[in-house]
Every structure is written in C-alpha cells, then in structure tokens.
Chains A and B, each alone.
Chain A
Amino acid sequence: MRVLIPSALQSYTGGPWVEAEGATVGAVLDDLDRRYPGIRFRMVDEQGAIRRHMRIFWRRTMVFDLSTPLAADGELMIVQALSGG
C-alpha cells in the first residue's frame, strides 16, 4: 500500500510517499522500519504506544491502535500534529 510520511520523517525515506506491506497498522510500521531502520521508534515508543504528536489515518479515518486491520488497497497517512514554538 501507499504510505504518506510526514516531513519530519522524510530524512529516513527520502520522500513523502513510500510503499509498505502489512495486515495491521503495526505490521506496516514494522515493514517501514525494515525498509528505513530507526523510523518506527520515532513514531512508537518502547511500550508500543503511538507517540503523542503522531496521527495515523487509514482511508481518511484516524486510527489509535496498532492492531487495527488494514486491507491491501488503501492509503495509510502518517501526519504530525504540530504544537509548541
């Protein structure tokens, strides 16, 4: 599937859209980490929680759980909720 990467993480991917595979949100992030080592820990902490300012959308709906199932035909969008100065 296509995955949209926020600007803060494009130093890992080299661009905004990348391909990744997985049957759940967590599996897609694992696959992203295989392709771009280190990227998952910037989004998900060591206890498996999505970090505070990261937002993940599947088919334009926000998802909060890494176990959320995905289909092969769709776009996963990862965005950062900007805050602070």
Chain B
Amino acid sequence: MTETKANPVLLVATRKGAWLYHGDAARQSWYCDGPHFLGHIINHLLLDARDGRTLLAAAKTGHLGPTIFRSTDLGQTWKEAAKPPAFAPATNGLAARSVDHTFWLAPAHASEPGVWYAGTSPQGLFRSADGGDTWAPFSSINDDPRYREWFGTEQDGTPDGPKLHSIIVDPRDPRHLYFAMSGGGVHESTDGGQSFAPLVDGLAVVEGFDPGDIRFHDPHCVRLCPGNPDRLYQQNHCGIYRLDRPDTRWRRVGATMPQDVGDIGFPMVVHPRDDRVAWVLPMDTSDVWPRTSPGGRPAVHVTRDGGESWQRLDAGMPREQAWWTVKRQAMCADQADAIGLYFGTTSGELWFSRDEGAHWDVLARHLPEIHSVEIAYPR
C-alpha cells in the first residue's frame, strides 16, 4: 500500500497540549512541531486517513468547556468546531447530562467522507457529517433508559469520568459499528447505529460481581484487525480477549501471559495486516492496582499466534525502577513493512520501535502526561 512509502507523523496528545513528530520515511529522524494548544487538555488527536489532511483535536482546559479543534494544514492553523458535541435536553424523565470532555474520535467508513464519530465522558455517542465542524447526538443510546443504567454513575468510571471509547467501523460495512465503555461493556450495531446491543459474552468481571450485569463490564481498549475485520482483540479490566465473528463469545487469550506479569493493561494494538499479531503493555494490578509496569520492569508483550502464546519485548527499555503507566489511547502501530510501534507514558516519555518491538528507543522525553499517540500519513 502507498502509505508504507509515505513519511509518518506521530500525533501526541497530552494533558498540557499536543505535539507532532514528523518522521522521515526510514523513521530514523523526527522533527518536533509543538506545542500546539499549550496548557489545554487534549484527549485525542487524529488525522482523517480518508483525505490525509483533516486533523481533529478533542480539547478542553481545566476551566473551560469541551470543544473540538480542526486543521486542514497539519496544525499550521486551527479552527474551532462551530457546534462541539453536547447532549440534548433531558427527555423521558431522565436526568440532564453535560459533556465533560470528548475522549475518543473516529472517522466513519471510507464511503462516508467527512463523517466522524465521537465518544464522550460521561458516556455519549456523537456524529459529525461535515468533517468535525458541527456535531449532533448519534443513535438512541445517549437517552435510552437501558443505556443510562449501563452507563453507571460518575463513581463507576475512570478517575476523570466514565468514558465511551473504541468506536470501530467495519471496513466492509458502514452500518456495522462497535463501541466500548469504561464502564459499561462492548456494544454492536448492524443497522448503522439505529440500535446497539451488548457484546459481552465470555468476558469476566471483578470477582464477586455478576457478569450478567452490563454495568460491571470494563473493556479498556478494543481493536478490529484491518487484515481480518472478523477478528477483534480486547484489553479488558479483567484480561486479554479475542473474538472471531460471527461468534459472539469472547475467548480469554491472556491466560497464557507470564504469571508474574498478568494480562491486565490499557492499550491494545493490532497488526495492520496480520490478524495473528497483537501487542499489549501490561500493568501491575496487585492490591491497590498501581497500574505501573510490573516490578518496575516495563515491557511490551506480543502474540504472533492469535494469543496462544506471548513473548516479552523489552530490549532497550530500563531494566529496573521504571514505573510507567500507559493509557489506552497512548500506543499505536504504523503501517511500514517492518511495523513501527509507539507508546507514550503518563510521565511524558515517548518510546518507539522500528522492528515490531524487538528493540526500543526514546523518541522524546519531558513531555506532559501523554493521553494519546496516533500515527498519521498526510497527503
């Protein structure tokens, strides 16, 4: 594919702004462009692969309401969305809600240029049909009494609020959609979002709770394999899973991870072409859940056989006393022949590998807390 010859740009969103790292084709040198939006909380920064030029940034600050910024010149100029995601007035006797922040951005199907989806905190699903300039509530879930129950309360979500994330569009069918919620499970639509239904069979929940209750499900990150859209991988609060459609039962493939590492983490990264290959970055879940590298020895783990086995990849990383946390949007793969991998830590380090994780190096240090890392191929 043509993208493998293009120069990559790494899009890094942080708690204090955004940075763009322009790489050469060999990924040997990187030019830093930033900060953009210094001081703004940027949760997600994404390039529309369909046009190769539209950047969207999900932003807010500690003091101002949430918004979306758009650029069509790789960040040289930004324009605020005319109508950012916002909930409708209360209906059906349900409590009124306000968007705290947009957390996840996802371009729609290739056949729908300019259409985007957004997931928010508290959980809501939104759609734009004009390249991210105006947004409207999408689907019925935002004000569906069942979904309101599954959203749980503010106390049920992540420390900065419960989130709708992992919005996935089947590349074969624009009407086939998935999303996930922390908390609130994985959900699927086959009718273009008119209706969604839970897809949580086989997933574990925290011990002592009922897996039949959707509220208790906490998928951290779900990814569809571009090389085989019938295969999904998921990093969950309770393990690593794989699902091969049309099956509806997730299979825990993290059970084969090393016992002293475990199979809990936030990011899930899949190979762009080979559905047997996926990467995770495990975290410590002992007693109070430190969510740091187990033992202070960070490592990425890879499966090359669909989760039957996992191998540790840590060459170049610190051997001890490295207490990293990597968030669910902060790890990605590029599309080169030898896949490049990238992740950012909450302590502001950006790491990368040019050889599918065999060797690691630092791309940047001293950044603010990194929220998301995405690869882009501008045209």
Q: Is the CB of A46 within 8 A of B63?
A: no
Q: Does A81 contact B (CB under 8 A)?
A: yes
For the complex, is A8 an interface residue (Cβ under 8 Å from B)?
Answer: yes
A41 near B65: Cβ-Cβ < 8 Å: yes
Closest Cβ of chain B: how far from A66's Cβ, in Å? 14
Counting contact residues on chain A (CB < 8 A from B), the size range is 20 to 34
A72 within 8 A of B: no
Q: Is the CB of A42 within 8 A of B65?
A: yes
Interface residue? A83 (CB, 8 A): yes
Chain A residues 61 to 85 lying within 8 A of chain B, measured CB to CB, are 80-84
Contacts A8-B63, A38-B67 given; does A49 touch B82 at CB 8 Å:
no
When the two chains form their complex, are residues A38 and B80 in contact, meaning their CB atoms are under 8 A apart?
Answer: yes
Report A82 CB to chain B, min CB distance, Å.
7
Assess whether B347 is interfacial by the CB under 8 Å rule.
Answer: no
- Complex CA–CA separation, A45 to B98 (angstroms): 6
Q: B67, A49: Cβ atoms under 8 Å?
A: no
CA distance A43 to B99 in the complex (A): 13
Measured in the bound complex, the distance between the Cα atoms of B64 and A53 in whole Å is 8
For B344, list chain A residues within 8 Å (CB).
none
With A47-B96, A49-B98, A84-B62: A42-B67 Cβ-Cβ less than 8 Å: yes
B-chain residues with CB within 8 Å of residue A84 when the two chains form the complex: 62
Closest to A44 in B: B65
- Which 9 A/B pairs are nearest by Cβ-Cβ distance? A46-B86, A45-B98, A42-B64, A53-B63, A80-B63, A47-B96, A42-B65, A38-B80, A84-B62
* A-B contacts besides A8-B61, A42-B65, A44-B65, 11 pairs, CB < 8 Å: A8-B63, A9-B64, A38-B67, A38-B82, A38-B84, A41-B86, A46-B88, A46-B89, A49-B98, A53-B63, A80-B63
Point out residues on B near A: beta carbons under 8 Å: 61-65, 67, 80-82, 84, 86-90, 96-99
Q: A: which residues have CB within 8 A of B?
A: 6, 8-9, 37-38, 41-47, 49, 51, 53-54, 80-84
25 sampled A-B residue pairs with Cβ under 8 A: A8-B63, A8-B64, A41-B65, A41-B84, A41-B86, A42-B65, A42-B67, A43-B65, A45-B65, A45-B98, A46-B86, A46-B98, A47-B90, A47-B96, A47-B97, A47-B98, A51-B65, A53-B62, A53-B64, A80-B63, A80-B64, A82-B62, A82-B63, A83-B62, A84-B62
